[in-house]
Structure 1
Amino acid sequence: MTQSLRLVALAATLGLASACSILPQSTPVDIYRLPVNQPAGNAAPLDWSLRLNKPLASEALAGPRIAVIPQGDVLSSYQGARWSDPVPLLVRNRLLDGFQRDGRIQRLSADDSNLQADYELGGELQAFQSEYRAAGQVEVVIRYDARLVQGRSQRILASKRFEVRQPLSGNQVPTVVTGFGAASDQLARQVIDWTVAQAKNQ
């Protein structure tokens, strides 16, 4: 009886091993960071603090997929590639890095830390994708509805829509990622200058 049970167990183990060997292999995924090419600033520091919040985003843009609109209103993603973080976190960290490189606002924090700040910057991310245009032209589109909020009262002080379009020289994923980096550099510069100007007017 014991010998029979051992044979049955061995046969089951071998069966599982052979079944595992015929399962399809998972597709390799390339993980991309968002490129940064923003020089450091040398302006005098300002005497107030800023907290950056992750922007709200639709379900299609809330994950780490590298989104693309190949035609019409079809939102897809590049196969075998994704961002290093979910897109809202990627954008917040890029803006945070941009403010740090700019140097004018030195007392910075992010919403993960939940620290009190004089002002808060947040909003909605409406677009973060590449789009195919006429004649096969491709461009990166970033659309960010920013809100500057007073820290203690949570009163909205200012809001503005930022839209950046960065033409691409090709449609391969590394080229697309480089385009996202250039577009994010533009967005960071515009948002930083606007935030500083709005806070100075308060």
Structure 2
Amino acid sequence: MIDKAPKKPSRAGGAAMSGLVLAASLLLAGCGGGAAPTTFDLTAPSGFGRLSGSGATLVVARPTTVQAFDSDRVIVKDSSGALSFVGGAQWADTVPALVQTRLIQTFENAGRIASVSSPDQRVTPTAQLLTDIRSFNIDAASGAAVVEITAKIVGDASGKIQRAKLFTARVPAGAIDGVGATQALNAALSQVLIEIVRWAR
């Protein structure tokens, strides 16, 4: 079931698809008596081969995005651009927070960079990875999960953009429900994360 999203949402390959984690299936909500949403997580891909490494120290900033995607909603977009959400399903955290964590873990799984961390760990980096989530939704017309993320490598000392690229993936969702939508979005994100890690150097 797809419910209409409020006008202002709250801020609150293949191996990756099978690795989707169903974080928790909650029971009845205490006050309202209705069923609480099922919570889904995103996973960091692994087993795609260790890549040639470098001695760089990389800081991965929290992705920027529009307000609609800065939430724990599982979003569906129709052909007119109107947004709704998959009822009865939510992410384990906001999408930017999950993407940042899984991107760091994907770098770690690849073993490509000497050190990778988030800004709050107070590491002096060689470079920063800045990302922006353009799309993280189900396309209602095609029934596919769409993930689009732009990435920029910024020299920490110079502040200049060294490289920039748009990464995109589309994965058929099968069914637009909690399980189908989140599996497809997880698989699409895994493709994008692997591409970003292979591109960054």
Over 3 Å counting, the alpha-carbon distance change for 1:43 and 1:61 in structure 2 is: closer
Root mean square deviation, CA, Å? 1.7
Find 1:189's aligned residue among 189, 194, 198: 194
Task: Name the CA distance, whole Å, in 2 between partners of 1:116 and 1:36.
Answer: 24
The Cα of 1:36 is off from its aligned counterpart by 4.2
Task: Name the CA distance, whole Å, in 1 between partners of 2:51 and 2:81.
Answer: 43
CA contact (8 A) 1:37 1:181 kept: no
User: Where does the alignment leave 5 or more consecutive residues of structure 2 unmatched?
Assistant: 1-30
Task: Name the CA distance, whole Å, in 2 between partners of 1:32 and 1:48.
Answer: 33
The Cα of 1:43 is off from its aligned counterpart by 3.8
> Counterparts of 1:58-77 in structure 2 under 5 Å?
58-77=66-85
Task: Name the CA distance, whole Å, in 1 between partners of 2:131 and 2:51.
Answer: 26
Q: Per-residue displacement from partner, 1:47-98 (whole Å, max 9, x unpaired)?
A: 1111101111111111111111144211111122111111111111111111
Q: Which residue of structure 2 lines up, in the alignment, with residue 116 of structure 1?
A: 124
Letter in 1 for 2:194: R
The Cα of 1:157 is off from its aligned counterpart by 0.9
Q: Per-residue displacement from partner, 1:90-118 (whole Å, max 9, x unpaired)?
A: 11111111111111113111122232110
Q: Which residue of structure 2 lines up, in the alignment, with residue 105 of structure 1?
A: 113
Letter in 1 for 2:117: S
Runs of 4+ in 1 over 4 A off after TM superposition: none
> Counterparts of 1:116-155 in structure 2 under 5 Å?
116-133=124-141, 137-155=142-160
Task: Name the CA distance, whole Å, in 2 between partners of 1:81 and 1:24.
Answer: 17
Over 3 Å counting, the alpha-carbon distance change for 1:69 and 1:140 in structure 2 is: same
TM-score after normalising by structure 2: 0.78
Larger radius of gyration: 1
Higher normalized contact order (CA 8 Å, seq sep 6+, divided by chain length)? 2
User: Where does the alignment leave 5 or more consecutive residues of structure 1 unmatched?
Assistant: 1-22, 197-202
The Cα of 1:172 is off from its aligned counterpart by 2.2
Q: Which residue of structure 2 lines up, in the alignment, with residue 82 of structure 1?
A: 90
